Amino acid sequence: MIQKTIALVAHDNRKKDLFDWVAHNREMLKEHKVFATGTTGKMVAEVLNDVTRLKSGPLGGDQQLGALIAEGKIDYLIFFWDPMTSQPHDVDVKALLRMSVLYNVPTACNRSTADFLITSSLYGDKVYKAILKDYSIYLNRNTEQPA
């Protein structure tokens, strides 16, 4: 089996949902490296061994995960976010989701998508190399001097 690195995040109103999903999929997750933010990490550690806990999302955990994504260290992002509650760190949430799209990381924001991800033939034993879009045109655009 090829060990993957999976990031787990859940807003307060979705933590139980993520916990239930992790418990249900324990066998599929237990051989992989897991990162989780704050309280989510504490909960997930009740089911899985070796969970690397980051800071709480509002205290920088979302940004820590974004940095790991930018460094190519996250294979999957499972983020059960709450679409009905405004978060004090909405900008961090948006930045994290932006990084997952920018670096083409498979991302699930609900249980159905997480189920599809974890049961995909690309999960586990397969090596999957994400194709990254070349965004260098944006770098050139931002460094050009006005005429």
Active-site entry in 62, 90, 92, 125: 62
Alpha helices by DSSP H, listed for 13-126, are 15-24, 26-29, 38-44, 61-70, 90-102, 111-119
Give the tokens for residue 2. 């090829």
- Residue 62 known to be catalytic: yes
Residues 88, 103, 39, CA angle at the centre, nearest 5°? Answer: 35
| Distances 73 to 28, 100, 111, 142, 146 between C-alpha atoms, Å | 19, 11, 23, 27, 37
Q: Which residues carry out catalysis?
A: 62
